[in-house]
Amino acid sequence: MLAGMSSYPRYALYYMPDRSSELYRFGARTIGYDAFTGKEVAFPPDLLHGQPDWRELTNDPRRYGFHATLKAPFSLRSDMTEADLLAAIEEFSGQGRVIPVIAPVVRSIGSFVAIVPSEPNSDLNALARDCVVGFDGFRAPLTPQDRARRNHDALTPAQREHLGRWGYPYVMDDFRFHMTLTGSLPAPRREVISAMLKTSFLALNVATLVIDKLALLKQEHEHSRFEVVALYDLG
């Protein structure tokens, strides 16, 4: 490995719905990728009809799979193994905790569209915090290249501190649970696409979502997509 280069594989801890659920199928079809199988899936015809460049608009989320981040992608420390990480996740998942329940809605977050809670949820924030802190001992230090990926000037002082301490800026008070459905969208199209996805999502009739699973995903190399290694029930 060249000095300063990210090491692979990388791992991430996500919330993911059950693979057989309508919500997961909706998300996987929307972004065009199933992280459980590692294969692309066909976009809904109405998406392609209304937005012929939909594949380009979903390039970024397709790399990661349909998910909500609880511990952002990281390389393992040299003295840790995947088996060590799996054992720790299994132990963590078996601990008693309040299982978060949210009312999911489709909204724009910055320049992209995602499924988010309709209102803040302290149980969900606690779960994310526990994942960030509890698994940080497995994370290799950031390389200069890792830091360069972040637009440092656009981060707040607190986010810069999070990046240095936890390897990711959007944690603790800056955490926002979101299941990404698009990449960055130009402002003129964002409202139209958000409304279109909101209509499709409402048809699923998902009034509540129980955040009761913890998935470990793995990215083998820089140009590969994340794939599910294991999925655990929380609690």
| Structural domains present in the chain | 10-233 (3.90.1140.10)
The residue among 167, 88, 95, 100 whose CA lies nearest residue 127 is 100
Write down the pLDDT at residue 233.
96
Write down the pLDDT at residue 5.
57
pLDDT in tens, 22-43: 999 999 999 999 999 999 999 9
Q: Strand, coil or helix: what is 140?
A: coil
HSE on the CB side for 51, CA within 13 Å? 21
pTM for this entry: 0.93
Write down the pLDDT at residue 3.
43
pLDDT in tens, 73-101: 999 999 999 999 999 999 999 998 999 99
The residue among 1, 5, 15 whose CA lies nearest residue 213 is 15
Average pLDDT over residues 47-56: 93
47 CA to centre of own chain: 22
Average pLDDT over residues 146-169: 86
Residue 144 burial (C-beta neighbours within 10 Å; 0-12, 13-18, 19+): exposed
Average pLDDT over residues 32-60: 95
Tokens 């079809």 -> residue: 29
Average pLDDT over residues 133-151: 86
Q: How many residues does the structure list for the chain? A: 235
pLDDT in tens, 184-218: 999 989 999 999 999 999 999 999 999 999 999 99
The single-letter code of the amino acid at 30 is: T
The DSSP secondary-structure symbol of 12 reads E
